[in-house]
Each structure stands twice: as C-alpha cells, then as structure tokens.
Structure 1
C-alpha cells in the first residue's frame, strides 16, 4: 500500500488518547498495553485514507477522532495548509479547515531527493496539531495559530503571530508543533522583541498568556515535564535548553550546549527522565545529558557527558527513554535509509548497541515496547533491551516505488489499541 493512514487493530483494555506531538506526556510514551504476538498474528489494517496528502505531520488522536496538518490545492489553484480530522474508527473524512498558505511544494525533491530512489521525494507541513477540551490547536508554516472546533473544524479563534508579535520563521518555516499542557499551549515565537522569544497562549481564546527570554529558537517542539516537583516547559534554543515555569514563564534554569550554537537545524525535542535532561543535534554537534537539581530554592545544572560521535546525532528524530536508556534514530543528510537505531545509557553516554538501516523515521514507546517506523515504511516492534538489539517482528506498512514514491519522516501514534502511521503519499 502506498501511503495513507493505517490503523493496526488489537484488543484494548485501556484507551489513552494521543493528543499531540509525542503523545499525552510529550515524551513519546503511551502507558497502554500493546499486543506483541505479531509473528503469530500480524497486525490488521483496519482502514486507509489516501485523500489527504503531503507533509510530515503525525497524529493527534482524541475522543474517536484523528487530526493532522496537510497541504493541498484549493479550487483556485492555491496551495494551502489544512488541519484535517477523520473518524478514528472508520477513516471517514470529517472536515478540513484551511489555516494558511503553504510554503512547501509537495512535488519537490526534498533533502537528497535526486530521483535515484523512491524514498526521497515529498514535502509539506512539519507540525502536528494538539487537541484538548473540544479544541484542536494548530499553527501553520507561516505562524498562524488557530483554535478549531474538534467536531466540525469551525474556527473558534485565530492569532497571526507574525503581525501581532513580530514572530519569524527559519529556513524550513515553522516546524514547532503546539505543545499543550491543560489550558496553555507553548510556541517558539522567535521575535526580536525583548523577552518575547518563548511564549504561551491560552487555549480558550488564543490570547498571549506570557512571553519570556531573548533566545533564538530552533525547529524543535518544547517538552513539558515535572522536575524536582516543579511543572516546567523546556525549549531547545540555539544555544541551550531553557526551562521556564509553565504558568508564568519565569526563568528556572539553562543548560548551555557543549557544542557549537545551532546554525542550520535542530529538530529533536528535549528528553526528560527523572531529573536528567537529554538533547541531540546533527550537523557536527552530538548529544549531551545534564542533571538538574533544586537545592535551597536554587536551580543548578551539571553536565553528565557529551559525545560528538555519529550515533549521537539526530536531526529531527526525537528519542524516547526507558529505564535509564535513550533509544534514538541517528542520522543526517548522508544517511537516508541507512541511519541506525541506537541504545545509549543516559547517565554515562555509553553506546550500548546500534543497528543500521532504519533510516530517519520515528519511534515511540508503548508500555514497554518500542515501535519504530522506518523511513521506507516498515513498522518494527523492538524490545527495549540495553544488552542487545532485540527485534520481535516487523510489518511492511507502506510500499513505495518509482511510480508512487514517498517516505516516512514521521513517528507513529498509538491510541485505543491502534497504531497510526503515515507517509508523505498518504493522507491521514
């Protein structure tokens, strides 16, 4: 099958939503059980939807609906970005609401797309919407923030961040997905106005709740976590990880990167495990971890390690952490299709193992199982075993060829016993 939204069905004892990029807790983890007897009983494709195409948006799944941001031409021939919703049980299209002009050409050969392989074509929106309280929050490539009715897609409110706050985008336009935490959504505002680089907006009406810091932003999506009992939002800026109080935007701490400031692209979100934070970047950077402490009302950050080796560099593939080990897809523009899956000990930075030929796809952790979507469309079930790469099974979810080229630069989503996967030739 070439593209689409694929649902792999299994019996579900729980039904946790996957309401935004990297899931319910912004760490790429779902607590729900996952059936693992794929060898005996392979996953079943419940439905596909190929009517909506283009881009690298993964899914927000909530209350029986699945949402993504895509691009397509309107009746006047204008390429627009749309936030779209489908029925999670049947795949039926529910609505598609335009949110702004699209800055990406879906027919372009993007990043290595020289026509010599069927896995290097396609482009489109990078962001994943967030859903909560009956609202779908999305932000366009040109920083148009909108709140939509989750049932019918009607516009509840909109906020043009460029005209209102002087926000700006990078060379790949906006790649930051809205990061939702109850009544607030966090965004890389990237303005030159003092103390307005990192921002939070109210989900009720789209108004600015707070803005903070003078930082240049990256292509990453923030991470929300509780460290030392304090709820905080962590932004990966060009010079370091910056943590702010989630409610008021007050500065808490900063971990300055042990590598050169970001000048090209950084797309992998920060990872938090207990009081350790992890970051990774490609283009001659690497990965690092630091311990965050809070003693006598003072925050402090201590670097644990830094490694600039190849297996520590990820462009946009956000890792997941399980029992003190980081599982990541490493790679940059010279490693399409061949990029490895790695296991790194978080406290020491030791590389426990690496296995090639996953490509620059995406991974999540479901209960105690890794789900890896490879760049060429395979869904791989892996045990998170730090002692050795332990593959359980794999399933060919997408079939790409020269008549139907495409790629999966997208992590899967998991909700209500179903795996949602998407490729650039698919719709939702």
Structure 2
C-alpha cells in the first residue's frame, strides 16, 4: 500500500467523516424507507442508545433531511416557518431562514409544517403548511427563490395544511399543489429560478410524497393526489396513466407509493380505501389484487423486502393498530402483532426500526416467520408524528418539543 493511500485510510478511519448513506429526503435516498449502506448495533444498552445531542424545536411534523454533516430542520417558531441548517454531529445552527405564517389547521394537529425538506444538488427545498415553496443554498443558506403556490394557483389548505413533500427530478421541483387555477393540481418549478415550467390536472392535493421511476430511460414521477395515482413524465408533464385511488369525504391519502423492480407499484390508504398492487409500464397499468382486508394504513409507508411487506395497519386516531407482514404478490397475511400501536417504519441492516406515536422506538428482526424485538427504548414523549431519518449510524427523531440525534450504529 502506498504511503499516500495509507494516509488516506488512516484519516478516514480517525476523522469521523461519514462513510454510510445520507438521508436527503423523505423516507431516504429512494423514498422507500430503506437505508442500504447502514450497519446497526445488534442491540442497544439497557437505558437505550446513546443520545449524541438534543435541542428544542418549534411546531410541526416535518422530519429532518441529512446530507454529509448537515441536517436540515423545518419547523414553526412563533409566527414564522423556519428552515434551519444544523451541524449533524453537534446540533449547532449553521444558518436559518424564515417566512411569516398565520396558518391554523382546520382539523386539529400542529400549526407547523408537515413536509420533510428536500436536499438536492446543493439546494434545499421546503414546502410550508400554507403552500410557500422555497429554495436555499445548502452551504450558505442564501435564499434563491420563494413561491406562494396556494395564492398563485388557488389551492385549498386541506385539513392539515399542505403536506405533500415535493420531489426534485433533474432541474425540476414537482409539487402536488392542488391548485384550482390553470389546472395546477401538479406543478413543476425550475430548481434554479422557481419559474413555473408546467401545470397539469385539476386534482386536489394529498399528503403523500411522490416517487421517481425511470421507464425506457426517461425519468417519470408517480404521484398520489387526493383521488388518483398518476404517472407523469417529469420533463414534459405528460400524464401516462392514472389509477383511481381515494374517496370523497373526510379521508386522506398519506402513504408514499412503493415501486418494485420498476414494474409493479403498491398503494395503500386507510378510511376504507385499502391497498392495490398493480403491474405497470410506461403507458399501462393492470391491477394484480385490490383489497382493504390485508392492509389499509393511514400514513405508514410499508417496507418491501424479499417479496414481503412490513407495515403498521390501521389509524392513529382509531386504535388498535397492528404490525403486519403481507405477501406482496397475493396480499396474503403472513403474520400479525395485534394491538401494536401506530407509528412508522424504516429498514436497515436486516432490521426494522419502528418509531411509535407514543415515543417508543424499537429495533426488531422480521422475516416471513415472525417478529422478534431486539431492543426497545422510550426516546420521545407526547405527540410523535414526524418521520425519522437515518444517516451514518445516527437516528434523527423528534416530538413536539425536542429533536434528538441518537447513535444506533454498529461499533
């Protein structure tokens, strides 16, 4: 080994530079809740995993996004929605920007933002509860542009405010705005300037985050709106197909669609909507099965592993909720943990990380034979809805008052 290479290896080994994956957007790099590069501790200490740092936060249910040594927090402090970039190792504020807000939800919940920030190409994109879409430089915090999408396009705020996290595809920011003007249900904005590039459909907004899928070499986006799942070509906005999915009345679509091997998609929602598995290509879809019995979850996005789905079934506001394992191709129930409690799930290093709404965090082994808890700790309190982020062996979690960074990595 050359002296230069040896020096590099030693520096990496001793400097604490992150070598595992980032978590730059909702549900991780692929928006599927899976961290492929992480290595986790097999068990936690009796008192729970070590807390690296913690700090107070404002209102909202937006989890953080992490890239390298920067974590971006989006929260409401008094009468402002604040985008705050933190040192991921210490929790120290590096920069922050704020916009005034007077948002108040129609149906309970917090008055802060819901959408996880998106970090892409040195930019940070945030989408506030009143539809304020903003873009900043990740390194300096310089504000590049802001759009008041609800005002521009006549969008309703919905039950809980805007909650469909945007997606960045190439040089475009795609948002389920839900605008009533100019058929602005879905709008594409220029990442560099904020200029509107195209608008499509009159579909109201959901609380589901879209996902990118490349078909025949062309970037597309699968987006669940209030009543449909639509496949758009990202650059042109051309709608390739749409699947009816949703119900009128007091219902929401909130789980993120899953794409399996670029040829199947899985959708799920509560409120009597249920689940759909469909085959698809660039122009067509064909349902494989549809049912509300196996799984109908409020906002927990399922984890797909080896032909199985792991998810918490039910609703937060109507307990009990059950942890289930479903066979993807048939919808058959493989096993269930009854009265488990509602929450969200991530997957890394062959382990399921479960954050429950009561503040319990669980590390578990799951496969087709059953569920085995490895570790458990009460890490949060009160109302816990923000999605966790996992980056470089550290889990970033928050409740209504506190953001914590805890070390769950393999030593």
**TM-score w.r.t. length of structure 2:** 0.86
1:89 aligns with 2:82: no
Deviation at 1:268, TM superposition (A): 1.0
Tell me the distance in 1 between the aligned counterparts of 2:402 and 2:107: 17
Aligned residue in 2 for 1:369: 351
1:320 aligns with 2:326: no
Task: Return closer, same or farther for 1:153/1:382 CA change in 2, 3 Å cut-off.
Answer: same
1:49 aligns with 2:32: no
Task: Return closer, same or farther for 1:339/1:123 CA change in 2, 3 Å cut-off.
Answer: farther
Q: How many residue pairs get matched?
A: 387
1:247 aligns with 2:235: yes
Say whether the 8 Å CA contact 1:12–1:33 is kept in structure 2.
no
Task: Return closer, same or farther for 1:240/1:424 CA change in 2, 3 Å cut-off.
Answer: same
Tell me the distance in 2 between the aligned counterparts of 1:320 and 1:219: 18
Q: Secondary structure at the match of 1:164?
A: helix
Aligned residue in 2 for 1:18: 23
**TM-score w.r.t. length of structure 1:** 0.83
Q: Map 1:35-184 onto structure 2 (within 5 A).
A: 35-39=40-44, 43-50=49-56, 52-73=57-78, 79-104=79-104, 110=108, 124-184=112-172
User: By percentage of residues, which structure has more strand?
Assistant: 2
Task: Return closer, same or farther for 1:358/1:231 CA change in 2, 3 Å cut-off.
Answer: farther
Tell me the distance in 1 between the aligned counterparts of 2:25 and 2:112: 18
Mark the runs of 5 or more structure 1 residues left unpaired by the alignment.
1-10, 74-78, 112-121, 401-405
Mark the runs of 5 or more structure 2 residues left unpaired by the alignment.
1-15, 405-411
Per-residue CA deviations over 1:368-400 (Å, capped at 9, x if unaligned) read 3221111111221122312212322222222x3
Say whether the 8 Å CA contact 1:363–1:371 is kept in structure 2.
yes
The root-mean-square deviation of aligned C-alpha atoms, in Å, is 2.5
Q: Secondary structure at the match of 2:363?
A: strand
Task: Return closer, same or farther for 1:123/1:166 CA change in 2, 3 Å cut-off.
Answer: closer
Deviation at 1:427, TM superposition (A): 4.1
Deviation at 1:414, TM superposition (A): 0.9
Bigger relative contact order, structure 1 or 2 (CA pairs below 8 A, ≥6 apart): 1
Deviation at 1:334, TM superposition (A): 4.1
Tell me the distance in 2 between the aligned counterparts of 1:227 and 1:98: 38
Q: Map 1:361-400 onto structure 2 (within 5 A).
A: 361-398=343-380, 400=381
Tell me the distance in 1 between the aligned counterparts of 2:355 and 2:215: 30
Deviation at 1:147, TM superposition (A): 0.7
Q: Map 1:264-343 onto structure 2 (within 5 A).
A: 264-274=251-261, 275-293=263-281, 299-309=283-293, 312-336=295-319, 338-343=320-325
Say whether the 8 Å CA contact 1:243–1:254 is kept in structure 2.
yes
Tell me the distance in 2 between the aligned counterparts of 1:319 and 1:236: 15
Task: Return closer, same or farther for 1:184/1:386 CA change in 2, 3 Å cut-off.
Answer: farther
Per-residue CA deviations over 1:209-234 (Å, capped at 9, x if unaligned) read 22222323322111112356543111
